[in-house]
Structure 1
Amino acid sequence: MQNKKVAVILSGCGVFDGAEIYESTLVLLALDQAQVEYECLAPNIDQMHVINHLTGEEMPEKRNVLIEAARLARGQIKDLAEANPAEYSALIFPGGFGAAKNLSNFATQGADLSIQPDVLNFTQAIHQAGKPIGLICIAPAMAPKLIGPGTQCTIGTDAGVAQAIEQMGGQHVACEVGSFHIDEARKVVSTPAYMLAGRISEAAEGIQKLVQAVIKMM
């Protein structure tokens, strides 16, 4: 796997307003165990809002997605706008509401979502170069706008999100928590993780398989 590096795009830090911490860590662990180099990236933008993860209530403060994501990456992270897609062999998006609030506005706009420009440009460059993309948990909701109409993906079995994916021109495929789906034609791999997982070991099973599938396609 020499000279191959995977980009991992984070959306903050914390399930309700950023990247899902377990999912992100499981992705990094799976890559490291496979001896594959990775680099964490995040857009240098304000979060949509800040959630108190103890109470679930919104807090009256502002936080930056890149600075928060740096917590998850132990400070080893790059501004997405400064990253060169040509330097990476694949891309993986962990889930968490940050994918639907910060990387896109799916949380408020549903099927009418738009993607944050740095995220869109980087992802499309990766895709157009024929490199694989992994999407976890709620992140596949961005797939039709990121990759294009006809893109196959899974968020598990959530009917509402599946319907939104179909409305955007995507093809949703129902999937069990420990499994994953591959759109072979577009090199897109997705797994439900915490859209269905009741425990960390369940999320780990699907994420491990997704990472292995992405590496195989590199």
Structure 2
Amino acid sequence: MKTNKKIAVVLSGSGVYDGSEIHEATLSLYAISKNGGEYQIFAPNINQHHVVNHITGEEMTETRNVLVESARIARGKIKDLAEFDAKDFDAILFPGGFGVAKNLCSLAFDGADCKVNSGVEKVLKAMHAASKPIAALCIAPALIAKVITGAEVTIGHDEGTAGAIQAMGSHHKQAGHGEVVVDAKNKIVTTPCYMLDATIAQIGEGAENVVKTIMEM
């Protein structure tokens, strides 16, 4: 099956606690390829907020770059987000992971008052203005809700994050494993993934359902 759909995938590092959630990122790429699409991976060329030891959960005394770390998942085939041009893509997808809430925006620290990285905001507004689908997994829908006021998204059932989304002027809808919330007006497609207590199979199901939905759009 060949759709010729080109999807931009934006990463925020490598590893759930300080970057992209690797299962969500990888299974999204798999779903795009499996369903006949093509992807190009991007990440902003900025320093991570911090580096976390993924065994202990403790912060480490070192600095890492979001683009360089994301290149691990991309197998080196990655572009600086500054090179992104909306006209080259049919849709854009943001996997989750704390990197979204720490590196792409400051949601993890500032909640509804968070600031969004200017490059990320520019890309999202360009895709929205072009009326092209925007997909987000896990915590990433909160980022979308901040930039596109009035969006309807899901992060599952987490009351704190749902409250922040409402406070941003957007709307939260509860959803379960593999379920997709579609904001048809804004062409936004979201699913909870690891915002719920999930298995890797459930992550794959959610990623595939999102990818199929944006391809049909």
Contact 1:17 1:101 in 2 (8 A): yes
Aligned-CA RMSD value: 1.0
Task: Tell me which amino acid in the other structure corresponds to 1:211.
Answer: V
Match of 1:200 in 2: 200
Q: Distance in 2 between matches of 1:2 and 1:198?
A: 30
- When the two structures are superposed, what TM-score results if normalisation uses the length of structure 1? 0.97
Q: Superposed, which structure 2 residues align to 1:25-174 within 5 Å?
A: 25-148=26-149, 150-174=150-174
Task: Tell me which amino acid in the other structure corresponds to 2:190.
Answer: S
Give the Å deviation of 1:4: 3.2
Q: Distance in 2 between matches of 1:194 and 1:4?
A: 26
- Equivalent residue pairs, number: 216
Task: Tell me which amino acid in the other structure corresponds to 1:50.
Answer: V
Q: Once superposed, which parts of structure 1, at least 4 consecutive aligned residues long, lie more than 3 Å away?
A: 1-4
Task: Tell me which amino acid in the other structure corresponds to 2:162.
Answer: A
Match of 2:178 in 1: 178
Contact 2:5 2:36 in 1 (8 A): no
Instruction: Tell me the secondary structure at the aligned position of residue 214 of structure 1.
Output: helix
Instruction: Tell me the secondary structure at the aligned position of residue 79 of structure 2.
Output: strand
- When the two structures are superposed, what TM-score results if normalisation uses the length of structure 2? 0.97
5+ long unaligned stretches in structure 1: none
CA distances 1:51-85 after superposition (whole Å, capped 9, x unpaired): 00010000000000000000000000000011212
Equivalent pairs: percent with the same residue?
50
Task: Tell me which amino acid in the other structure corresponds to 1:83.
Answer: F
Instruction: Tell me the secondary structure at the aligned position of residue 104 of structure 2.
Output: coil
